[in-house]
Structure 1
Amino acid sequence: MISLDEAVTARLESHGQRFEVLVDPDAALGIRRGEFDGDLEDVIAAEDVFEDASSGDRPPENALEEVFETTEPLEIIPEVIKRGEIQITAEQRREMQDRKHNQLVNEIARNAVNPQMDDAPHPPERIERALDEAGFTIDPMEPVGNQIDDALDALRPVIPIRFDEVVIAAQIPADYAGSAQAQIRQFGDLEREEWQPDGSWVGVLRFPAGLQNDFYDLVNELTSGEAETRIIKDEDDLETR
C-alpha cells in the first residue's frame, strides 16, 4: 500500500450515493486507460470504499450491492476509478508535473544525440534548459511516453537533436575480463561476443545513444582505463575511441 500523502481521491456519484477510494495517481490513470497490470493492493492507500474519504465515513453495504453488485473493495475500487473522477489537488498536480518533467528529461537524455556534434549525447541540463526556452509544459495527466514526440518537436527549433542508438565494441583485457564482462554485457543488447586467444573478451553492444558516456565510465572503472572501445558505424567502418 501507499501512504495517504501519496494518494489521490477517485470519486463516483451514482444512485444518489458517493463512493471514494484512495489510489496512486499514476496507477489511477493507468487503470482508466486499461494499461495497469500491477497489484492493486500496492497502489491504494486503503483497501476500503468510502462515502467521504476525508472523514472515513463508509457507504451502506446495500448501496455497494446496488451500484457494483458486490461489497468487495478490491472489485469496487477499479470501477470507481474507471467510472468516476480523479480528484487532484493543486499541490499533487505540481508534484506529478515535476516528477514527470524529470522523467521526460531523463528519457530524452538517454536516447538523444546532437547530430551537429558527431552524435554526442545531450546532457540532461542542456535538455532542461532547452525545454524551458521552448516553453514546453508536460501534462501530468498523460504518460511520459505519450509526450516525448511533442517534446522533441518543441526542442528541435532550440537545439539540434534526434533519437538514436549506438553500437559499440569493447575489448576487455584478460586481467579484467572475467568479472568485467558480466557487468558490461548487461548494459545494453549484446549483439555478439568473442573470447580472444590472449584471454581478453570482445563484446558488441547496442544501447540508447545518450548513454555513451555512462558506458565509457563503466568500462573505464571496471578495467582501470585499460579497455579499448570502438563505435561501429557499419560492418566495414570502425571508429576507434
Structure 2
Amino acid sequence: MPGKKPDYVIAWIEVKGKRFEILVRPDPAFKFKEGENVDIEDILWTDTIYRDSRKGLKASPAEVKSAFGTEDPRRIAEKILREGQIQLTEEQRRKLIEAKKKQIITYIARNAIDPKTGKPIPETRIETAFEQLRIGVDPFKDAETQAVEAVRRIATLMPIKLAKAVVRAEIPAQYSGRIYRELQRLGHLLKTDWRHDGTLVAELEIPAGSQVEVVSRIQGLTKGQARVDVKVVK
C-alpha cells in the first residue's frame, strides 16, 4: 500500500570508524535491549549487514569480519543491539522514556528515605523533583544506575538518600509457620530465632523506602498481633 510505513527500524553501531546497520522489528528489538530473553530470529527483519540500508549498500564480508570477528548475522545482531543504537520514532521514544522514568521513580521510592525523619518519600514528591530539576532519562540505560544519579541531583533540592532498613518482627506461634516464606519474599532474612512456644523472631533487611509496605504486610498476615520494629541502617 503506498505510503505504508515499514514494519522495521534500523539498528546501527560504529566499529573502527565504520557504520554497520541491520533491519530489526522494533518491539522485540526494544525488549531484547531491555534485557528480556528474545530470540534473535524474532528480531531480525533480514540477516543482511548494511553499511547504509537506505541506499541498499551492503557491507562486504571482509568489512564484517574485520569489524566483528565473525560473519554470523546472529552474533553481529546481538552486538549491535546490546552496544549500538536503535532508530526510534518520536512516539516510540516518548513511550520508552515514560516507562523508564516510572521504573526509576518507583526504584527511588522503594529505596530512598528522608534522612532527617527516616521516613519514605512518596512517588509524587520524587516525580515533582524530576520536573523541577529537569532530570533526563535514557530509555536504554538501566533504571538502578539512573536512579542513583537522580538521587544525587534531588539531594540538592530536598533531603534524600538511598538506604537499607532492618525490620525485627516477633511473630506469634499461630502465624509463624505460614509467614516464614512470605518474609523471604519481602526481603533478605538476616536472622531467625524459633522460640520454645513457637514464636518466630526474624530480622529482615529491606529497602528503606519499602518499610511501610513491609510492616503493613506483616501486620496484615498476623492480624495486627506481630511486634515490629524498624531501624534504618545506612
Range into which the TM-score falls when normalised by the shorter chain: 0.7 to 0.9
CA–CA distance in structure 2, aligned partners of residues 122 and 24 of structure 1: 35
- Is 1:102 matched up with 2:98? no
2:73 aligned partner: 73
2:30 aligned partner: 25
> What TM-score, normalized to structure 1?
0.73
CA–CA distance in structure 1, aligned partners of residues 218 and 157 of structure 2: 33
CA–CA distance in structure 1, aligned partners of residues 122 and 205 of structure 2: 20
> What TM-score, normalized to structure 2?
0.75
2:210 aligned partner: 211
Shift of the 201–167 alpha-carbon distance from structure 1 to 2, 3 Å rule, reads same
Shift of the 174–18 alpha-carbon distance from structure 1 to 2, 3 Å rule, reads closer
Q: Which moved more, 1:220-229 or 1:84-93?
A: 84-93
CA–CA distance in structure 2, aligned partners of residues 197 and 121 of structure 1: 36
* Number of matched pairs: 216
Name the SS of the counterpart of 2:11 in structure 1: strand
Is this contact kept in 2: 1:110–1:211, CA < 8 A? yes
1:192 aligned partner: 191
Name the SS of the counterpart of 2:116 in structure 1: helix
Shift in Å, 1:140: 2.5
CA–CA distance in structure 2, aligned partners of residues 43 and 153 of structure 1: 41
Once the two structures are superposed, the pairs formed by residues 1-241 of structure 1 within 5 Å of their partners are 8-11=9-12, 19-22=21-24, 24-25=29-30, 27-28=32-33, 39=37, 41=39, 44-46=42-44, 48-50=46-48, 65-68=61-64, 72-81=72-81, 85-117=85-117, 119-232=118-231
CA–CA distance in structure 2, aligned partners of residues 92 and 186 of structure 1: 34
Shift in Å, 1:135: 2.1
Shift in Å, 1:102: 0.6
Is this contact kept in 1: 2:135–2:150, CA < 8 A? yes
CA–CA distance in structure 2, aligned partners of residues 231 and 43 of structure 1: 49
CA–CA distance in structure 1, aligned partners of residues 197 and 79 of structure 2: 63
CA–CA distance in structure 2, aligned partners of residues 230 and 109 of structure 1: 20
CA–CA distance in structure 2, aligned partners of residues 212 and 83 of structure 1: 37
CA–CA distance in structure 1, aligned partners of residues 183 and 225 of structure 2: 14
| RMSD of equivalent CA atoms | 3.6
Shift of the 91–50 alpha-carbon distance from structure 1 to 2, 3 Å rule, reads farther
Shift in Å, 1:182: 1.6
Shift of the 203–136 alpha-carbon distance from structure 1 to 2, 3 Å rule, reads same
Is this contact kept in 2: 1:168–1:206, CA < 8 A? yes
CA–CA distance in structure 1, aligned partners of residues 86 and 111 of structure 2: 32
CA–CA distance in structure 1, aligned partners of residues 135 and 178 of structure 2: 44
- Deviation per CA, 1:5-48, whole angstroms, max 9, x where unpaired? 8x75314699xx974232523644x7xxxxx6x75516952374
CA–CA distance in structure 2, aligned partners of residues 83 and 146 of structure 1: 17
CA–CA distance in structure 2, aligned partners of residues 13 and 149 of structure 1: 29
Shift in Å, 1:214: 1.2
- Deviation per CA, 1:128-156, whole angstroms, max 9, x where unpaired? 11221222222324332332333113212
Is this contact kept in 1: 2:40–2:74, CA < 8 A? no
Q: Which amino acid in the other structure matches residue 41 of structure 1?
A: D
Shift in Å, 1:101: 0.5
Is this contact kept in 2: 1:40–1:74, CA < 8 A? no
Q: Which moved more, 1:107-116 or 1:140-149?
A: 140-149
